[in-house]
Structure 1
Amino acid sequence: MSLFSALPAADSYKTTGKGARPSAFAVSELATASFAAVGQELARLVTALNLAPGTPEISVDHRLASLWYGFSFKPDGWDMPSLWDAVAGDYQASDGWIRLHTNLPRHKAAALKVLGVQGNRDAVAQALKEWSIADLEAAIVAEGGVAAAMRSRTEWLEHPQGRSVSRDPLIGWQNPRHITLRDRPQATARRPLAGLRVLDLTRVLAGPVSTRTLAGFGAEVLRIDPPGWDEPGVIPDISLGKHCAYLDLKSPDGLTKLQDLLAQADVFIHGYRPGALDALGLTKIKRDKLAPNRVEVTLNTYGWQGPWSTRRGFDSLVQMSAGIADAGRAWAKADKPTPLPVQALDHATGYLMAAAVLSALAEAASGNSIMLAQLSLARTAELLAALAKSETQGDITGASAADYIQQPEESGWGSGHRLKPALTVGTAQMSWPLPASKLGTSQPIWSSLSI
Structure 2
Amino acid sequence: AVRVGTRHVEASLQSYAHVKFEDPDRAPGPRMAAAQRAAIAGFHQTGDGRWMYIHPGFAHNTESLLELFGHPSNEDESRQVVASWEAPQLEREIMRRGLCSAMVRDPEEWDASPMGRILNARPVVEIIQVGDADPRPAGAGPRPLTDYKVLDLTRVLAGPTCARTLASYGARVIRISAQDLPHVPLFVAETGLGKRSAHIDLKSDSGRSKMRELIGEADVFSQGYRTGALERQGFGVADVVREKPGIVYISINCYGHEGPWRSVPGWEQLAQTVTGMASLHGNYHNDGRPELQPAAVTDYTTGYLAAYGALAALLRQREQGGSYWVRVSLARTGVWMRGLGLREATTYRPFDDEEIRSYRAVAQTEWGAMHHLRPAVELSNTEVLWKQPPVSLGSHAPAFTG
TM-score, normalising length from structure 2?
0.89
| 2:128 alignment partner, SS class | strand
* Alignment CA distance shift 1:185-1:327 (3 Å): closer
User: Which moved further from structure 2: 249-258 or 89-98?
Assistant: 89-98
Of residues 202, 206, 211, the one that matches 1:258 is 211
Asked if structure 2 preserves the Cα contact closer than 8 Å seen for 1:66 and 1:396, the reply is no
Asked if structure 2 preserves the Cα contact closer than 8 Å seen for 1:300 and 1:376, the reply is yes
**Cα displacement (A) at 1:70:** 0.7
Query: Aligned ranges for residues 38-437 of structure 1 at < 5 Å?
Result: 57-71=1-15, 72-78=18-24, 81-82=29-30, 85-86=37-38, 87-94=40-47, 95-117=49-71, 121-180=75-134, 185-188=139-142, 191-229=143-181, 230-369=183-322, 371-388=324-341, 394-398=347-351, 400-404=353-357, 408-437=362-391
Asked if structure 2 preserves the Cα contact closer than 8 Å seen for 1:96 and 1:150, the reply is yes
**Cα displacement (A) at 1:334:** 3.2
Larger helix proportion, structure 1 or 2?
2
**Cα displacement (A) at 1:216:** 0.6
TM-score, normalising length from structure 1?
0.80
Give the whole-Å Cα distance in 2 for the aligned partners of 1:406 and 1:163.
41
Give the 4+ runs in structure 1 shifted more than 4 A.
Answer: 118-122, 181-186, 388-394
**Cα displacement (A) at 1:121:** 4.6
**Cα displacement (A) at 1:186:** 4.9
Asked if structure 1 preserves the Cα contact closer than 8 Å seen for 2:247 and 2:324, the reply is no
Q: Deviations over 1:168-193 (max 9, x none)?
A: 122223344343455575522xx211
Letter in 1 for 2:160: P
Which 5+ residue runs of structure 1 have no aligned equivalent?
A: 1-56
Asked if structure 1 preserves the Cα contact closer than 8 Å seen for 2:253 and 2:329, the reply is yes
Asked if structure 2 preserves the Cα contact closer than 8 Å seen for 1:269 and 1:297, the reply is yes
Give the whole-Å Cα distance in 2 for the aligned partners of 1:123 and 1:393.
37
Q: Deviations over 1:329-380 (max 9, x none)?
A: 1100335321111111111111111011111111122235453111111111
* Alignment CA distance shift 1:160-1:367 (3 Å): closer
Give the whole-Å Cα distance in 1 for the aligned partners of 2:343 and 2:261.
33
Q: How many residues align?
A: 390
Asked if structure 1 preserves the Cα contact closer than 8 Å seen for 2:135 and 2:320, the reply is no
Asked if structure 2 preserves the Cα contact closer than 8 Å seen for 1:59 and 1:424, the reply is yes
* Alignment CA distance shift 1:177-1:153 (3 Å): same
* Alignment CA distance shift 1:418-1:233 (3 Å): closer
Give the whole-Å Cα distance in 1 for the aligned partners of 2:360 and 2:334.
35
Letter in 2 for 1:344: V
Q: Deviations over 1:371-393 (max 9, x none)?
A: 31111111111111221467887
Question: In percent, how many aligned pairs have the same letter?
Answer: 30
Which 5+ residue runs of structure 2 have no aligned equivalent?
A: none
Q: Deviations over 1:72-100 (max 9, x none)?
A: 52222416644675243222222222112
* Alignment CA distance shift 1:411-1:184 (3 Å): farther
Give the whole-Å Cα distance in 2 for the aligned partners of 1:383 and 1:407.
31
